[in-house]
Amino acid sequence: MSLDTDGAWAMRELSSLLRPRVHLSVSEWADAYRLLSPKASSEPGPWRTARTPYLREIMDALSATSDVERIVVMKSAQLGLTEAAVNWIGYIMDQVRTAKPTLIVVPTDRLLVRWRHQRLNPMIEGAECLRSKIDISKSREGSNRLDLIDYPGGLLYLTTAGSASNLKSDSLCYVICDEADEYAWDVDGRGDPLGLIESRQSNFPRRKLLIFSTPTVKGSSRIEGEWERSDQRRYHVVCPHCGERQALVWEHLHWNADVTQVWYACAHNGCVIEERDKPALLAGGEWIATHPGRRVRGYHLSALYAPLGLGYSWRELATQWVEAADSDERRQHFTNERLGLPWEDRRTNVDLRDLAARAEPYPLREAQPGVGLITAGIDTQDDRLAVQIVGWGEGGRWWVLDYIELPGDPARPEVWIALTDLLGRAIHTAHGIPIPLEGAAIDMAGHNTEHVKAYVRGCRLPRVIAITGSRYRLDRPLGPARKIDHRANGQTIKHGMRYHQVGTELAKDRLYADLRADADQPPPDRRAHFSQDLPPEYLAGLLSETWNPKRQRYEPKRGMTKRNEPLDTWVYAYAVAHHPEIRLDRLRPSDWERRVTRFFGSESKPESSPSKPASEPQPMRPVAAPPSPPRRSNFVQGWKR
């Protein structure tokens, strides 16, 4: 290359650097440079924001000139939010001159691969302004890996929400959180992944965080919580007949009996709006905030806004709704994926304030009339043991008699000594008659397994068992005993320690059914009874989970992963009450009468005046006799027979 040529090239480069920069918004950049790939779009070709006008404000809030820091989008599926996020990435790579490290967080490795190969790579290849800067063909180089793109002016990282080390490693300016409802609430014991991400952004005053997701279950949905703290914007369209603005909601979509005709009824005057009016509706739409003063921008979008040809039609949506009428799982899927709303399951729909109002004025560790059987459940944590003692009575009634947390490291003997002392102290009636504990279940899952096994082996209290939650749904609260001790060669020890699996879903079904059934019932008619002296966090912990029909399991509510011991310990106490030597489910009315009369005398009968039993109760015999040990035989005995 000649000197003149070198000089001309240098002047062109210098001129491009000194030329005044045109400040584009994200939507303007996308309209100018973005090409949609057939790998990820049903309409490949130049991006047109006018096709999805509801995305314009969301994208422009991500522009460098916008002072919005946190943007939340609670949405249904397939409305273009992921492509809008890809537009933002292209905008950052091309328009932001100073180095701005960016992170994309997805829930799984599979989605990370899809982001890289179906979203980012085609976007870079299709935009000339990026293709000349970034060579994505060198995918094995250190600067261009599956989880990293090193481009002129910045770095783009990709990671999963399950990697705490990746979420904490570097400072970040821009972050995209895709499908945030799929993130765990606790990552490797280091807390909420969103909290880890936010701490990494603190060094950048012009930081931005985009969180978008389809919601899941009400109360446990992460995006629902983010939306509730936002200014809650909805896209208002203009009725083509009366001119009134309104957000599109499912309740105003109507159809005839065979779903051949579907229309939208104007919320103001009942005008019939047909789907063919949708292009004009979307073009004239406007985002309106419910809480304008809040700093967090929040947007909600349902499939009702899907442009013609880019999503389900109104008729298809109505058909799906009708077909899902007989299935909670399908209704949840429709509510989440089509309406972009969290599903509220009736199974665990118990109000905390209503439950607190049911608390009764009886002291802890005092058995109430009707209690005929007492068991305990123990949950192990790194720094404490949570213990719940429950009294059981006829007709499915139960009383929480104590809930206490014993501080201490389970690796040390002190906390186990305190547990033995607690379980060994009988619960007394109001007249001082002791009712002994008949069984206790201790969770051995986690990294305290060996400590629990050692305690159960050496414990001399009756029916203290080690348990663990079953990975599958059991048809009983307590599974049969299983051998757990093994010799060095791997052979199980015949008379070694055993453990039981707990049918946690079945037990929680029973608990939440009781709590629902007790609503508006007077105290004598309730199944569940709570003392006013229980610690404040007890009832919240009891309601710490909700049922997810789609996944067929109970899941923690938002932020409740750390304090669900009241729920777990109740489940364990319920499970051990079904021990083969106790069998709560097999007790007959005569068994309950014998037990209750032994402890309370005639006090337990409403028509009789309270009286104190004449003598101390004797230990209760099990309803079902314990299994007999296997009969041993030898050659001489066999010969004699």
Following CA atoms 313, 44, 118, 332 in sequence, which dihedral angle do they give, to the nearest 10 degrees? 0
Q: Would 618 be classed as within a structural domain?
A: no
Q: Give the lowest-confidence range in 91-95, 234-238, 314-318, 370-374.
A: 91-95
State the pLDDT confidence band at 619, using cuts at 50, 70 and 90: very low
Q: What does DSSP assign to residue 477?
A: S
pLDDT surpassing 70 at residue 624: no
Q: Can you list the positions of beta strands (E) in 408-497? A: 427-429, 434-435, 440-443, 464-469, 482-483
pLDDT mean across residues, the chain = 86
Pairing of strands 174-178, 208-213: parallel
Asked if residue 440 and residue 292 are part of one domain, the reply reads no
Which of these, 459, 558, 451, 457, lies nearest to 183 by C-alpha position?
A: 558
pLDDT reading at 99 higher than 80? no
Considering the domain architecture, whether residues 148 and 211 belong to the same structural domain is answered as yes
Q: Which of 460, 485, 463, 391 is nearest to 429 (CA)?
A: 391
pLDDT at res. 190: 75
Amino acid at 74: M
More confident residue, 18 or 241: 241
Looking at the structure, do residues 291 and 386 belong to the same domain, yes or no? no
Looking at residue 162, its pLDDT comes to: 83
Question: Do 230 and 298 form a contact (C-beta atoms < 8 A)?
Answer: yes
What gap in Å lies between CA 306 and CA 312, rounded to an integer? 7
pLDDT of 349 = 80
Indicate if 299 and 390 belong to the same structural domain: no
Give the per-residue pLDDT at 40: 75
Please indicate, yes or no, if residue 69 is contained in any of the structural domains: yes
Please state which of the ranges 136-140, 240-244, 314-318, 452-456 shows the lowest mean pLDDT.
136-140
Q: How confident is the model at residue 225 (pLDDT cuts 50, 70, 90)?
A: very high
**DSSP string of 182-237, one letter each residue:** GS-SSSTTS--HHHHHHHHTTT-TT-EEEEEE---BTTT-HHHHHHHTS--EEEEE
Other Cβ atoms within 10 Å of 135 Cβ, number: 13
Residues whose CB is less than 8 angstroms from the CB of residue 74 and which lie 6 or more positions away in sequence, other chains included: 212, 213, 215, 223, 224, 226, 227, 298, 299, 300, 301, 340, 341
Same domain, 398 and 463: yes
Is residue 36 assigned to a domain? yes
| Average confidence (pLDDT) over 504-522 | 93
301/416 same-domain check: no
Top-confidence range, 47-61, 324-338, 559-573: 47-61
Q: In what order do the strands lie in the sheet with 262-265?
A: 253-255, 262-265, 272-273
Q: What is the pLDDT of residue 139?
A: 53
Domain count, the chain: 2
Pure H helices in 584-630: 589-600
**Mean pLDDT along residues 133-161:** 77
pLDDT band at 623 (very low <50, low <70, confident <90, very high): very low
CB 91 within 8 A of CB 164: no
Q: Are 368 and 358 in contact (CB under 8 A)?
A: no
- Containing domain of residue 542, as a range? 357-604
In a domain, 463, yes or no: yes
For residue 613, being part of any structural domain is answered with no
pLDDT at 371 over 50: yes
Percent of the chain with pLDDT over 70: 87
What is the C-alpha separation between 70 and 612, in angstroms, rounded? 66
Evaluate if residue 608 carries a pLDDT over 70: no
pLDDT at 9 over 70: no
Helices and strands (H, E) in the chain, number of each type: 21, 29
Residue recorded with tokens 């009575």 = 393
User: Beta partners for 529?
Assistant: 399
Give the range with max mean pLDDT: 117-121, 314-318, 328-332: 314-318
Indicate whether 606 pLDDT > 60. no
pLDDT of residue 144: 67
Distance, CA of 471 to CA of 468 (rounded, Å): 9
Per-residue model confidence (pLDDT) at position 616: 38
Q: Where is average pLDDT lowest: 263-272, 471-480, 529-538, 611-620?
A: 611-620
Cβ atoms of 214 and 343 within 8 Å: the answer is no
Give yes or no for a contact between 373 and 358, defined as CB atoms under 8 angstroms apart: no
Same domain, 61 and 124: yes
Q: Which residues contact 191 (CB under 8 A, 6 or more apart)?
A: none
SS3 track for 222-238: HHHHHHHCCCCEEEEEE
Q: What is the CATH number of the domain that holds 367?
A: 3.30.420
Q: What percent of the chain has pLDDT over 90?
A: 62
Same domain, 302 and 378: no
196 and 138 fall within a common domain: yes
Confidence of residue 497 (pLDDT cuts 50, 70, 90): confident
Q: What is the predicted pLDDT for the residue at 195?
A: 86
Does 544 fall in a domain? Answer: yes
| 183 and 68 share one domain | yes
User: Residue 8 — very low, low, confident or very high, per pLDDT cuts 50/70/90?
Assistant: low
For residue 559, the model assigns a pLDDT of 58
CATH number for the domain spanning 25: value is: 3.40.50.300
Phi, psi of 545 (to 5 degrees): -130, 160
- Compute, in degrees rounded to 10, the torsion defined by CA atoms 151, 158, 333, 507: -170
Q: CA 386, CA 573: separation in Å to the nearest integer?
A: 12
Q: In the predicted model, what is the mean pLDDT of residues 176-192? A: 84
Would you say residue 94 lies in a domain?
yes
**255 in any annotated domain:** no
Residues 408 and 307 in one domain: no
The whole-number average pLDDT for the span 39-47 is: 84
Q: So what's the pLDDT on residue 637? A: 39
Query: Is there a single domain that holds both residue 296 and residue 402?
Result: no
**pTM of the shown model:** 0.74
